[in-house]
Amino acid sequence: MKTCTVCGEEKPESDYRLHSDKKTVMRYCNDCHLAKRRAQHAAKREERNAQFRARYAANANGVKDKMAAARKAKYAKQGRAALIAWAAANPEKAAEAQRKKMKRGRERLSDYYVRRLLCHPARSAVKQVPEILIECKRLQLMIERECREKR
Amino acid sequence: MKNAEELRAELSQTFAQLKAGEIKPSEAAELANLAGKMINSAKVQVEYYALRKESPRIEWLESPNTEIQRP
């Protein structure tokens, strides 16, 4: 039996982890060790996420391309039905993803965003909006934005 | 502006001029407003045919070059 230096409880040695030398036993029990590691992990969460986001944005080691390829492969394998099922199972996450997608589209004036402005799929019977109409609408929006900025 | 391609050319030219400061924002806004009306009327036409499940040619949306490519 061994007393944990953190929680003070007396526990059998099997409840203690070994140090990296694989010989000596740690002073704190496994539960306290895991709690400490979880706290460390949570404390560094934002920093780690920021690092990963920066690496992703810079496409370090082609991480962005790899993830895009993985998404494409997953979509090809599972098809659209899996996405629809996921959205039905996670309505809040799906709504958040949609909001982000629309925000990105609004900033970049993507085809998706402009097409939705012209003919919203829920309100319109049009399945395919002519490309030329999308391009004209995009240019019109660009001019309007520029005018708003200059005024 | 007889078709959508001409409208696109006009709009892109206006955008370039606006960026370069060659025209006033108010003038560009007027053209953008007019373009919006034209785009919306074309959209109404596209929606009308989609509701009727028809797909006729809409001349305004077709480029003059497509005519040459047709057999």
Query: What's the structural domain count of chain B?
Result: 1
Q: Considering the entire predicted model, what is its pTM? A: 0.64
Rounded Cα distance, A106 and A114, in Å: 8
Residues 95-124 of A with CB under 8 A from B: 118-119, 124
Tens of pLDDT, residues A83-114: 899 999 999 999 999 999 999 999 999 999 99
* Average pLDDT of the residues in A107-124: 93
A–B CB contacts, 8 A cutoff, strictly below: 76
CB atoms within 10 A of CB B50: 17
Tens of pLDDT, residues A4-27: 999 999 999 899 999 988 888 999
Domain that holds residue B40: 4-69
- Domain ranges in chain A? 2-43, 53-89, 91-151
Q: What is the ipTM of this complex?
A: 0.89
Shortest distance between the Cα of A145 and any Cα of chain B, in A, equals: 9
